[in-house]
Amino acid sequence: MKKILLATVAILGLAGAASAADLRPVVRPVVAPVFNWTGCYLGGYVGGAWSAENVRVLDRNGYNLPFTAVFDAWNYNPNSSFLGGGTAGCNWQPIGSPIVLGIEGEAGYLRITGSAFDPLTSANPAFTQFSTLSAIRIGDWYGMVTGRLGYAWDRALIYVKGGGAFVDVQTTITDTINNPGFIAQSSSSKATWTVGGGLEWAFDWNWSVKAEYMFIGLDNTSTCGFNANPVFNTVGTYCWNHQIDGVHTAKIGLNYRFGAGAVPVIARY
């Protein structure tokens, strides 16, 4: 009889332990949201722009030979400029990868200007009235179409970008020998290249701020004009080279990303 009672108690104890185990809470995997840069965005920015080097002007046809006896050249430093505009682009970040790929368009305002007299003609008091003045203007508008390659640490992104740039460039030569003066002028919208990079930080699922540097490459611009000079009885087309190496730009900006969201990552146990 004792054996039967002991066996019954043991069976009941095992059944109770099994029931208690069934009542324990089930531990489910933890879902942790992870920021992802995939999405398209619009943004705006402000900053500054300045010339990479001094502008160098070269008298190609010896226009001032009666005064200088050489094919002269001179340099001058243009002014810096305010920079502002807008951007639109799209990013793609593969799930589980820190690499971010993107394409971006940018359009904005800049206006770099400068001017200087030819020092070889203006330095001689006898020829001051014949001084030759060079002037340049880069802008008032510019645009870029670039690709972006970035590396992300969650909400922080470091990136490089490069592609094509478009900017209006105008160069002018004025000589006070005539009234109102001989003018040779060139104005063109240049298609060129640009390269740079920056840092971006997402302080919200949709909003991010950035700091960025870009270099716009430029090259020589020929400025030509036809002149009939009554003093020296010369008639012809005269040209000057304006060497403008490029433009540095630095900006801070704010972007709004559409359709932003987290990518769920399931913790494993």
pTM: 0.79
Q: Is the pLDDT of residue 186 over 90?
A: no
pLDDT number for residue 222: 73
Predicted local confidence at residue 144, as pLDDT = 97
The CA distance from 52 to 247, in Å, is 5
CB neighbourhood size of 54 (10 A): 16
Confidence of residue 6 (pLDDT cuts 50, 70, 90): very low
For the cut 80, the answer to whether the pLDDT of residue 200 exceeds it is: yes
Residue 180, preceding peptide bond in cis (omega within 30° of 0)? yes
Length of the chain: 269
Least confident among 3-12, 81-90, 168-177, 205-214: 3-12
The 10s digit of each residue's pLDDT in 31-53 is 557 899 999 999 999 999 999 88
Question: In sequence order, what are the residues at sequence separation of 6 or more whose Cβ sits closer than 8 angstroms to the Cβ of residue 32?
Answer: 264, 265, 267
- Strands of 73-76's sheet in order across: 73-76, 55-59, 234-243, 220-229
Backbone angles phi, psi at 61, to 5 degrees: -110, 10
Q: What percentage of the chain carries pLDDT values higher than 70? A: 71
Type of residue at 1: M
Rounded mean pLDDT, 232-254: 84
Mean pLDDT to the nearest integer, 111-128: 76
Distance, CA of 214 to CA of 211 (rounded, Å): 10
Asked if residue 133 has pLDDT above 80, the reply is yes
How confident is the model over 105-134, as a mean pLDDT?
80
Q: What residue ranges define each of the domains in the chain, with the CATH number in brackets?
A: 32-266 (2.40.160.20)
The answer to whether the beta carbons of residues 168 and 188 sit under 8 Å apart is yes
Quick one: which of 173, 184, 172, 178 has its CA closest to 129? 178
Q: What count of Cα atoms within 13 Å lies in the side-chain half-sphere of residue 21?
A: 6
Q: DSSP letters along the chain, please?
A: -HHHHHHHHHHHHHHHHHHHHHHSPP-PPPEEEEE---EEEEEEEEEEEEESS-EEEEETT-TTHHHHSS--EEEEPPP-EEEEEEEEEEEE--TT--EEEEEEEEEEEEEEEEEEE-HHHHSSGGGGGG-EEEEEEEEEEEEEEEEEEEEEETTEEEEEEEEEEEEEEEEEEEETTSSS-EEEEEEEEEEEEEEEEEEEEESSSSEEEEEEEEEEE--EEEEEEEEEETTTTEEEEEEEEEE--EEEEEEEEEEEETT--EEEEE---
Instruction: Please say whether the beta carbons of 246 and 54 come within 8 A.
Output: no
Question: pLDDT tens digits, residue range 73-110?
Answer: 889 999 999 999 999 999 999 999 999 999 999 999 99
What is the pLDDT confidence band of residue 261, given thresholds at 50, 70 and 90? Answer: low
